[in-house]
Amino acid sequence: MLAIQIDRFGGPEVLRPVDLPTPAAGPGEVLITVEAAGVNFADTHQVDGSYPVAGTLPHVPGSEVVGRTADGRRVLARVSGGYAEQAVAKESAVLEIPEDLDAGAALALLVQGLTAWHLLRSAARMSPGETVVVHSAAGGVGSLAVQLAKEFGAARVWAQASSPEKRRLALELGADAVTSHPLEEKADVILDAVGGELFDRALDSLASRGRLVSYGNAARSGFTPVDPARLGRLNASVVGFWLRPTLAAPGAVHGPLKELLALVAEGRIRPVVRYVYPLAEARRAHEDLLARRTVGKVVLRP
């Protein structure tokens, strides 16, 4: 079968197509013929060796697929080695999905959707009536976080994005305004995956008892030190978030995921899927993602 493999750490150029044996499903596992695989920003950290949990090489990246099991079910699944024509998943990590649901939309809900849901519900503990700022608002997580913040009762949602096209998209998805820092008004919740200078400027935009949730370092500029005295003067907090341990908690996956699927089915949120690449062009997908040429969910198709 065709798969994409990392055999050394570096940039996207280390991703290469290879022919591998079909993986074997063990007890409690299912073999899935892959219809589409999701690309996540965390995958780029696996490629360059900066992911918090180091993997062994060679390694096939990819943590999510839509596909079909041997008994004919169309499923959305968390996997290891998703950049391939076939992948193995634990039966407990598989959710059956409707035949008419777009594969890219389903993939958008698994990592990006659950991230956005838990950022607002679990990390920020957002309350109705609060003001929310979403950085990278046209990205996979940001485009869903904008919509979910409105769905969860935010009084006002501000969007930060890097280009006019991306800012227009955020407004189309329901953001009330586009922002730069400092804000015209203080924010109760700020979601930041960029880090660096943007993180530092965002701190001063927090309202009293506000929460700045840091869930990435897309700027790759090193993490900004946080002075406790500064937080004290702001009467605010910084919350760190990582999806992987969050999903290990009981009830952290299937309940929120079913809620997200229902919101899509009812037309109340809309996953953005515009960038679909052939599996063999995973390298180009990573290059475009890192260069911020993409919006919404990035997908590979075998």
Q: Is the model's pLDDT at 103 over the cut of 90?
A: yes
* Other CB atoms within 10 Å distance of the CB of residue 95: 18
Q: Is the pLDDT of residue 10 over 90?
A: no
Nearest to 10 by CA among 60, 45, 54: 45
Percent above pLDDT 90 for the chain: 81
In this prediction, residue 1 has a pLDDT band, given cuts at 50, 70 and 90, of very high
| Per-residue 3-state assignment (H helix, E strand, C coil) for the chain | CEEEEECCCCCHHHEEEEECCCCCCCCCEEEEEEEEEEECHHHHHHHHCCCCCCCCCCECCCCEEEEEECCCCEEEEECCCCCECEEEEEHHHEEECCCCCCHHHHHHHHHHHHHHHHHHHHHCCCCCCCEEEECCCCEHHHHHHHHHHHHCCCCEEEECCCCHHHHHHHHHCCCCEECCCCCCCCEEEEEECCCHHHHHHHHCCEEEEEEEEECCCCCCCCCCCCCHHHHHHHCCEEEECCHHHHHCCCCCCHHHHHHHHHHHHCCCCCCCEEEEEEHHHHHHHHHHHHCCCCCEEEEEEC
Of 49 and 147, the one with more pLDDT = 147
Interior/surface letters 199-213, b for 16+ CB within 10 angstroms, e for the rest: beebbebbbeebbbb
The C-alpha torsion from 107 through 9 and 19 to 96, rounded to 10°, is: -20
* Peptide bond just before 58 cis, omega within 30 deg: yes
Q: What band does 200 get if pLDDT is binned at 50, 70 and 90? A: confident
- Residue 45's pLDDT is 87
Q: What is the pLDDT of residue 167?
A: 95
pLDDT cut 70: percent of the chain above it:
97
What is the torsional sign of CA 295, 110, 84, 96?
negative
Q: What is the mean pLDDT of residues 24-45?
A: 95
Give me 42's structure tokens.
């965390």
Tokens of 196: 């660096």
266-284 pLDDT, tens digit per residue, is 999 999 999 999 999 999 9
Average pLDDT (12-27) is: 95
Pairing of strands 74-78, 64-69: antiparallel
**Average pLDDT of the residues in 79-102:** 96
Residue 75 pLDDT: 98
- Output the average pLDDT for the chain: 93
Does residue 59 contact residue 48 with C-beta atoms inside 8 Å? no
pLDDT tens profile 57-75: 899 999 999 999 999 999 9
Which pLDDT band holds residue 149 (cuts at 50, 70, 90)? very high
- pLDDT grade for 162, boundaries at 50, 70 and 90: confident
In this predicted structure, what is the pLDDT of residue 224? 72
Per-residue pLDDT at 222 exceeds 70: no
Q: What is the pLDDT of residue 223?
A: 67
Backbone φ and ψ of 171, nearest 5°? -65, -40
For the entire predicted model, the pTM comes to 0.91
Tell whether the model's pLDDT for residue 165 goes beyond 90: yes
Please check the confidence at residue 185 and state whether its pLDDT lies above 90.
no
* Rounded CA separation 114/282 (Å): 23
